[in-house]
Amino acid sequence: MNHNITPPDMSTIKKILIVKLSSIGDVVHALPVSAALGDAFPNIEISWVVEQMSAPIVKDNPYLKEVIVLPSEWRSRGSISALHRFSAIRSEIRRREFDMAIDLQGLSKSALVAWGSGAKYRYGYDWMRELAPRLITRVPRRTESLHVVDQFLDVARFLGAPVETVKFPLVISEEKKASASKLFCEFGLKMNEDFIVINPSSGGGGNKGWSVANYILAIDRLAKDPGFPIVLVGSKGDAPICHAIQEGVNVPITNLSGRTDLGELIAILGGARLHLCGDTGSAHIAAALNTRVVSIFGRSNPDRLAPYGQGQFALHHRELCSDICRKFHDTAPINSKQKCLAPPPACLSAVHVDEVVSTCKMALDSLVVL
């Protein structure tokens, strides 16, 4: 830890604001910070500011006093109205009189919110860029903190939280569980029975997605062994991919792409026996809910970004990446949209169907032991 900065006396801190605005997987990664701080300092009120799209991830977090949701258009660029919106948001947050703001995004947008809160102390985790280093005090990561979850938790450790266990306070809404169950019934499925959820989305894009042809082959085999019902999920934008998969397989599957909101997706992933996906947000939701996750990685570094605690089921062949590409993505921000620097992505193409199917069976078998 950096010896050039000293944590404040936490007995003087009454209110903390966590700033983690987006995206879905990144917000999940930050959840343990709220739990660590809440357990270590039960008398401190913790609030969280988040963008509307990711709000269901933190909505019912028991460690939070309040969730402040920013509207989707809050940071529209190039207009006077955007400045007015930010001014109104700053005033709204500032009136809560936070003593400390923790920026776990590390970008201009989050740093401005943390700065605008008026908090005397403003800290951020190891990775920061744009305006963030000028507005936020950086807490360097420990050498052993390889995964981004542990890098976030280094801020909690710096403040005095022991972090004996890593907790993800992600709550499944009873309302969303009921609506997801109703949706399942429409397709003759039951939420309380075994099923596999597959999300073929490529997440942040940039040549990150496994091919439709490979998903078709994998599904045909998984539908026979272990033989659980298979459910496709994804956003409306993923509907064409999911439709192509549904049309290509030789077995009946359920396609829910574009049919669920985030809360319902959380409920479905929480009830699944297994989740097969790419490098995308649903992987981290499932892992936070202790669902087994087999994830397929291309350009991203699974040591840093695999579903937390399930790195043994993260498949990749980054050894085939160019040195330039691998170096960039080892140091790139979590939400980097940069495409593969040497397409076609050999690292992703090399993940074979046999490898995926065998890992899925291994992940399912591990449930018996744990």
**Treating both helix axes as pointing N-terminal to C-terminal, what angle do 281-288 and 24-40 enclose, rounded to 10 degrees?**
30
- Tell me the percentage of the chain whose pLDDT exceeds 70: 86
Decide if pLDDT at 2 tops 70: no
pLDDT value of residue 77 = 59
Decide if pLDDT at 82 tops 80: no
Q: What is the mean pLDDT of residues 161-177?
A: 96
Cβ–Cβ contacts within 10 Å for residue 243, how many?
A: 15
Tokens representing 320 are 């085939």
> What is d(CA 77, CA 82) in angstroms, rounded to the nearest whole number?
6
**Treating both helix axes as pointing N-terminal to C-terminal, what angle do 281-288 and 262-271 enclose, rounded to 10 degrees?**
50
Q: Which of 17-31, 296-310, 315-329 has the highest mean pLDDT?
A: 17-31
- Closest of 35, 54, 83 to residue 265, by C-alpha: 54
pLDDT value of residue 343 = 53
Say if residues 156 and 33 touch (Cβ distance below 8 Å): yes
Q: What is the mean pLDDT of residues 97-121?
A: 96
All domains of the chain in start order, with CATH: 10-158 (3.40.50.2000), 174-369 (3.40.50.2000)
Say if residues 94 and 25 touch (Cβ distance below 8 Å): no
Sheet strand arrangement including 45-51: 66-70, 45-51, 15-19, 100-103, 121-124, 137-138
Q: Is 125 helix (H, G, I), strand (E, B) or coil?
A: coil
- Confidence grade of residue 81 (pLDDT, cut at 50, 70, 90): low
Amino acid, res. 68: I
